[in-house]
Amino acid sequence: MTGGPQITLPWLDPEHPEAPFPDPGHALRDPNGLLAAGGDLSVPRLLNAYRSGVFPWFEAGQPILWWSPDPRAVLEPAHFRLHRSLKKAIRNRGYTVSFDRAFEAVIEACAGPREYAAGTWITGSMQQAYIAMHRTGHAHSVEVWDGPRLIGGLYGVAVGRLFCGESMFSRERDASKIALAWLCRHLVAWGWPLVDVQMETEHLRHLGAITLPRREFIARIREIAHAPEAPGPWRVDPALSPLDPDWNTAP
């Protein structure tokens, strides 16, 4: 009995993390966006990847796999849809929001078991890689608290003026949406035009995510992902509430 078709991928040299990635236009159509394998998860490699429109995604027991799917899902922070029910939740539930207060707890929660999945792609090596990114000021978290209890949040990578969302979690209804609302409100104030959310889901589409052809996505991030940046911890500005009536939101 013979196996399925063999896939030949460029293999990245772990000794040269800053070497250019293959052209995302050469990524496979099936599976959609698979571009390369190997390399490492060092901070220079990950920054290089996100600036190139590429991200790692693999399961335990697999080599590191690098992806750039077509189309690409994005969220323009100024067009985040703050629906009436979410606005009510932010106003009435008494939750508090922080940035970069509990990054390791957020990524651990995102790696936890889900009802719809048997395992997780956020392996131990991935967690350690993004914790290293956070400690060098390039990865950030948003936390939602009910008193002292962490009930939701998200994390991702900042390159230039592009935020690359990685994962989110909720332990109470709407908690991850609240985290994303606060993040988008701050990104608008900071002049950050785009959040890369990688793959479209119904949840993200409901909040305003759209898809772009990969070629258009790469063209849009070419400048913003290489913009000057000052890595370091983020802090919530209470004046930048998602309840600001002048913010562009959906009914």
Instruction: Calculate the average pLDDT of the chain.
Output: 93
What tens digit of pLDDT does each residue of 11-48 get? 999 999 999 999 999 999 999 999 999 999 999 999 99
pLDDT computed for residue 116 by the predictor: 44
How confident is residue 2, by pLDDT bands cut at 50, 70 and 90?
A: very low
pLDDT computed for residue 245 by the predictor: 83
Between CA 196 and CA 167 the distance in angstroms is: 11
How confident is residue 1, by pLDDT bands cut at 50, 70 and 90?
A: very low
CB atoms within 10 A of CB 226: 13
Per-residue pLDDT at 5 exceeds 70: no
Pairing outcome for strands 11-12 and 34-38: parallel
Place of tokens 């995604």: 57
pLDDT computed for residue 112 by the predictor: 84
Q: Which of 75, 83, 81 is nearest to 209 (CA)?
A: 75
Percent of the chain residues topping a pLDDT of 90: 87
Q: Is the pTM of this model over 0.85?
A: yes
Radius of gyration of the chain (CA): 18
Per-residue pLDDT at 233 exceeds 90: yes
Between CA 56 and CA 54 the distance in angstroms is: 7
Q: Which of 211, 203, 208 is nearest to 251 (CA)?
A: 208
Between CA 192 and CA 92 the distance in angstroms is: 28
Per-residue pLDDT at 202 exceeds 90: yes
How confident is residue 246, by pLDDT bands cut at 50, 70 and 90?
A: confident
How confident is residue 117, by pLDDT bands cut at 50, 70 and 90?
A: very low
pLDDT computed for residue 115 by the predictor: 54
Buried/exposed 3-41: b ≥16 CB within 10 Å, e otherwise: eeeeeebeebeeeebeeebbebeebeeeeebbbbbebbb
Cis status, amide bond into 31, omega within 30 of 0: yes
- Position with higher pLDDT, 99 vs 120: 99
- In this prediction, residues 244-251 reach a mean pLDDT of 69
pLDDT computed for residue 247 by the predictor: 74
100 Rama sector, left if φ>0, alpha if ψ -120 to 50, beta otherwise: left
The secondary structure element, H or E, covering residue 75 is strand 72-75
Cis status, amide bond into 71, omega within 30 of 0: yes
Bridge partners, 139 (sequence order)? 157
